[in-house]
Amino acid sequence: MPAEWERQTAVQLTWPHDGTDWAPMLDEVLETYREMAREISCRERLIVVAPEGKAPGMLHVVCPTNDTWARDHGFITLTDDNGHCRLLDFKFNGWGEKFRADLDNAINRRLYEVGAVEGEYVDHLDFVLEGGSIESDGQGTIFTTRCCLMAPHRNQPLTQAQIEERLKQYLGAKRIVWLNHGSLIGDDTDGHIDTLVRIAPNDTLLYIGADEQHPDLLLMEQELRDLKTLDGRPYRLLRLPMPRPIVDEDGQRLPATYANFLVINDAVLVPTYSQPDLDSEALRIVGEAFPDREIIGIDCRSLIRQHGSLHCCTMQFYSPLK
């Protein structure tokens, strides 16, 4: 499984429409998606999945959808040294059957059938795995969280050891790093790793810092300090700030995080939340991890209202396109 910063051929967006939960704020979220689309499409190919319409300058695939979280219903790509790739189609079940996902779960097959992506299609629809729940360093280490992969209605009655063996087999991994701590208030995903800890070049881990409402993140930080690379060295740790609380109409805190950034060709898109001091600090720290890329802030206040952010909306491909 490639590291996200390896050279990409395309990024997928699954477009918001009035049949999704975005309907009450569709104009606002569409502007955020247009901004993401502009930044992606000027650097690599953009695939837009939507029930209807056309996307000028983009590869548009017509397909019915439940929602827009491409990270979790999209293909997971494996590559080899000869340029071949496998497109792994795992089951998406609405983060443990919390939401309807039957239409989203059919998007990958549609992309493959119309020739939007190339590679060997691999059916893993008997196993639930969301793209946001795993991080790869491209060298055989996969990070994940126990609270997500062992959450109810994912892959029971499989044990942690059995799930680990499948991840190694399916993803070509040498080891699985399980984090036992870390979650965000308001998170529907049960602790996706891409909201908490991200891998960067040179054995660097970026992670979200704790605040008074997230003491469990201090325990996660200690776990990261104790971790070693495959060759026994400590990781370089870069601590991202925690955004100040953003709440919904009922006063409930939303799971805003700067860790949910997207690495694309020659740039990193970083979620911002109209908190200039913290936004600037997050952009600076991400720039430390990716000094050879342009660091671009994207206002994600619209996305967080549906409990997701920038990385959640996207999925990258490494296979050649037709």
Q: What is the mean pLDDT of residues 65-71?
A: 97
Residue 57: pLDDT band by 50, 70, 90 thresholds? low
**Helix (H) / strand (E) containing 231:** none
Q: What is the pLDDT of residues 188-247, one digit of tens each?
A: 999 999 999 999 999 999 999 999 989 999 999 999 999 999 999 999 999 999 999 999
Q: Please give the positions annotated as active site.
A: 312
Q: Rounded distance, CA 268 to CA 200, Å?
A: 11
Neighbouring CB atoms inside 10 A of 161's CB total 7
Average pLDDT, whole number, for the chain?
95
Q: Which residues of 42-80 are buried (b: 16+ CB within 10 A; e: fewer)?
A: eebbbbbbbeeeebeebbbbebbbbbbbbbbbbbbbbbe
**Exposed (0-12), middle (13-18) or buried (19+): which is 209, by Cβ within 10 Å?**
middle
Question: pLDDT > 90: what percent of the chain?
Answer: 93
Q: What is the pLDDT of residues 229-242, one digit of tens each?
A: 999 999 999 999 99
Q: What is the pLDDT of residues 142-167, one digit of tens each?
A: 999 999 999 999 999 999 999 999 99
State phi, psi for 114 to the nearest 5 degrees. -85, 0
For the record, the structure tokens of 267 come out as 């740039």
Q: Rounded distance, CA 268 to CA 237, Å?
A: 18
Nearest to 196 by CA among 129, 161, 147, 251: 147
Q: Which residues of 101-138 are buried (b: 16+ CB within 10 A; e: fewer)?
A: bebbbbbbebbbeeebbbbebeeeeebbbbbbbbbbbe
Length of the chain: 322
Residue 81: pLDDT band by 50, 70, 90 thresholds? confident
Which residue is listed with tokens 């990261």?
A: 224
State phi, psi for 76 to the nearest 5 degrees. -105, 125
Q: Rounded distance, CA 121 to CA 85, Å?
A: 9
- Contact present, 17 and 50 (Cβ < 8 Å): yes
Q: Which residues of 268-287 are buried (b: 16+ CB within 10 A; e: fewer)?
A: bbbbbbebeebbeebbebbe
Strand pairing category for 236-240 and 204-208: parallel
Q: Rounded distance, CA 280 to CA 262, Å?
A: 17
Start-to-end CA span in the chain (Å): 22
Neighbouring CB atoms inside 10 A of 225's CB total 11
- Contact present, 297 and 283 (Cβ < 8 Å): yes
Q: Rounded distance, CA 140 to CA 3, Å?
A: 10
pLDDT at 82 over 90: no
Q: What pairs with residue 176 in β-bridges?
A: 142
- Contact present, 125 and 93 (Cβ < 8 Å): no
Q: What is the pLDDT of residues 246-256, one digit of tens each?
A: 999 999 999 99
Q: Rounded distance, CA 173 to CA 91, Å?
A: 19
Cα–Cα distances (Å) from 4 to 26, 28, 64, 130, 203, in that order, read 29, 28, 27, 15, 13
